[in-house]
Chain A
Amino acid sequence: MQAKQNQAFRVEGVSKMFGAFQALNDVSLGVSHGEILAIIGPNGAGKTTFVNIVSGVFGPSKGRVLLEGSDITAFSPQRRTRLGLSRTFQITSLFGDMTVAEHMQLAVRGGDPHGDERAELLEQMGLAGSVARPVDTLSHGDQRILEMAMALATKPKVLLLDEPTAGMSVAETDTMIQLICDRLRGKVGVIVIEHDMNVVTQTSDRVTVLAAGAVAASGSPEEVLRDPLVKELYLGSAAGH
């Protein structure tokens, strides 16, 4: 109980109904400061609904969302960000006609007036040479890295990464894995929604499996990957026998 109270982020008994369809059913999970939690699950498992409830796009039908013990269930997305809950998007979501520098200026919201922190962050993320470039001229991988740089510039306590390697090449994926491990592990609580099991095993401390809107399994990456139910969900019924 003490461990749960100290978690950076927690959802408790979250359910979501869309008409008669139950997208999430009594989901409870949490992430501690500096920990990386991966959430996996087949299509239709409720991952997108979970992301939208966590980030405040819509509210749950039942249950609570807690950030450092405070109930933020009714808070707007912008208020959640200001309190330290940031996110990236599954589909790259940038402002097409703005430069990398303008994106970072937006992300710091008037903080960092001299741009030192922004410059350092872009240097660490490998984007220092692209500061003046419009984002629509960046490669897909660099756009995803910029999204993460923007999320970090908001100084999050908890970061939600929605399929951070979606659409990336093998080399770009390796770079992203490296960034997650170097820049995030031990620093902020991270929830990664991911399909790529290679990314999950290399980055996460714990894994939670969602299936049909409910938590089907939870544990270390090794434990979860050995779970017959998970094998069945990912590899089909033959794998479970």
Chain B
Amino acid sequence: MRDRAGILISLAILLALCVAAPVVGEFWSGVFARCVTWMFLAISFTLAYSYANIPSVAQATVFGAGAYAAIWLAPTLQGNVTLMLLAGTVAGGLVAAVFGLLLLRMSHSGAAIGAIIFAVTGSILGNAAVSVTGGADGLPLPALNFHLLGVVVAAGPNNTMLVLSTALLAILLIGFWYVSGTSTWRIVRAVQQNPVRAQVLGYNAALFRVVVFTVAGCVAGLGGALYALISRHVAIDVVSLSMSLKSILWAAVGGVTSVYGGPIGVLLVQLASEILARWTVRVDLIIGVMLVLIALWLPQGIMGLLKRPDRH
């Protein structure tokens, strides 16, 4: 079941960001670039929650694993951006696979609590291991000559990194759009809706859930690695519970039942926050009211507007 409207809207948004960036200036290019990395995190939450059926509030921990892996391995990889992104993706996938195997042994509500414990534990351990993580001050991206497929790229919140991030996100979304029309994805949907029924049809529901959760982790890890390259710095607040909660907010605003909702949610919430911050200090209050309104009138988020009310 491919969502043509969803993919077209998402690609249009990404294209608009790349086109607008040179016009709106360096500051907004940086904001856009960071937003794109958070879109990976929002998509990761949606995949974990809506398709692996795991209410994970530890996705920022996975995102942080990708970010730290990229920074730690940058000198060893001699600034090879492709390998750094791969390292972040693998790190995110590994952390998610471990979390997933543990969370699947719990009930649905137990898994939510378990994920909170993972997120808080990750934060505490990260703060304790200052020599490894840099703690609250964080770790800077080493000063290296970064290169991608033989071309030198400047790390930082710039147009080059924005284009790289949006290109990767576009490839990811197009890939998802393709996969969502395959028989394998039909099994994922079946497992998500009714795991017992899927098992009785001969499918290993637990395996499918772990694989989807691990893929969600890879997505978050890739986003984390991009974040490290764009921010040129990673601090422990990236893996905090509040960061995970933000990912839930983004996914909820965009529509938690659609992978294409996350990017819309990130853009709406983060751009609104940036703009409102120029006028008021009560940004969080206004964003909170916005979330309540969306929860009341758009429970399926912005993407819910695209769903036809009656298929009969």
Binding site for B on A (CB under 8 A): 55, 57, 76-78, 81-82, 86-87, 89, 93-98, 102, 105-107, 109-110, 134, 137, 150, 154
A selection of 24 A-B contacts at a CB cut-off of 8 Å is A57-B196, A78-B200, A78-B201, A78-B204, A81-B202, A82-B202, A89-B200, A94-B197, A95-B190, A95-B193, A95-B197, A97-B1, A97-B189, A97-B193, A98-B189, A102-B186, A105-B183, A106-B201, A106-B203, A107-B201, A134-B311, A150-B201, A154-B201, A154-B202
> Taking CB as reference atom, which chain B residue is nearest A88?
B200
B204 partner residues in chain A, CB cutoff 8 A: 76, 78
Select one of B186, B196, B205, B311 contacting A93, CB under 8 A. Answer: B196
B311 and A106 contacting across the interface, CB-CB below 8 Å: no
> Taking beta carbons and an 8 Å cutoff, which residues of B are in contact with A?
1, 183, 186-187, 189-190, 193-194, 196-205, 311-312
Q: How far is the CA of A82 from the CA of B197 in the complex (A)?
A: 14
Q: Which A residues touch B194, using CB under 8 A?
A: 93-95
By Cβ-Cβ distance, the 7 closest A-B pairs, closest first, are: A81-B202, A77-B199, A93-B197, A78-B199, A95-B193, A82-B202, A78-B202
Please name the residue on chain B nearest to A83 by beta carbon. Answer: B202
Measured between beta carbons, the chain A residues less than 8 angstroms from B197 are 89, 93-95
Q: How far is the CA of A87 from the CA of B189 in the complex (A)?
A: 20
Minimal beta-carbon separation of B4 from chain A (angstroms)? 17
Is the Cβ of B193 less than 8 Å from the Cβ of A96? yes
Interface contact B199-A106, CB-CB below 8 Å: no
Q: Is B190's CB under 8 angstroms from A86's CB?
A: no
Contact A109–B201 (Cβ < 8 Å): yes
Knowing A137-B312, A154-B201 are in contact, say whether A77-B196 is a contact too (CB < 8 A): yes
Given contacts A78-B204, A98-B186, A107-B201, 18 further A-B contacts (CB under 8 A): A57-B196, A76-B204, A77-B200, A78-B202, A78-B203, A78-B205, A81-B200, A81-B201, A82-B202, A86-B200, A93-B194, A96-B193, A97-B193, A106-B186, A106-B203, A109-B202, A137-B311, A154-B202
Residue from B189, B197, B203 whose CB has the most chain A CB atoms within 10 Å:
B197
- Set of chain B residues within 8 Å of A57, measured between Cβ atoms: 196
Q: What residues of chain B lie closer than 8 Å to A150, measured between beta carbons? A: 201
- Minimum CB–CB distance from B59 to chain A (whole Å) comes to 25
Bound form: Cα–Cα A154–B199 in Å: 12
Task: Give the distance in Å from the alpha carbon of A105 to the alpha carbon of B181 in the complex.
Answer: 13
Question: Would you give the shortest CB distance from A84 to chain B, in whole angstroms?
Answer: 10
Residue of chain B at shortest CB distance from A134 = B311
Question: How far is it, in angstroms, between the C-alpha of A150 and the C-alpha of B190 when the chains are bound?
Answer: 14
CB neighbours of B193 from chain A (8 A):
95-97
Which single member of B189, B198, B200, B202 contacts A55 (CB below 8 Å)? B200
Closest to B199 in A: A77
- Provide the residues of chain B in CB contact with A89, threshold 8 Å: 197, 200
Complex Cα gap A60–B201 (Å): 22
Q: Which residues of B contact A95 (CB under 8 A)?
A: 189-190, 193-194, 197
Which A residues touch B200, using CB under 8 A? 55, 77-78, 81, 86-87, 89
A10–B88 Cα gap in the complex (Å)?
Answer: 52
Say how far B187's CB is from chain A's closest CB, in angstroms.
Answer: 7
Residues of A within 8 A of B186 (CB): 98, 102, 105-106
A134 and B198 CA atoms in complex are apart in Å by: 17
Complex contacts, A81 vs chain B, CB 8 Å: 199-202
Tell me the nearest residue of chain A to B193, going by C-beta: A95
Note all chain A residues with C-beta closer than 8 A to B187.
Answer: 106
Residue of B nearest to A153 (CB): B201
Residues of B within 8 A of A105 (CB): 183, 186
A105 to B205, CA, bound (A): 17
Determine the distance from Cα of A78 to Cα of B197 in the docked complex, in whole angstroms.
10
CB distance from A201 to the nearest CB of B (A): 28
Complex Cα spacing A107 to B199, Å: 11
- Chain B nearest CB: distance from A234 CB in Å? 30
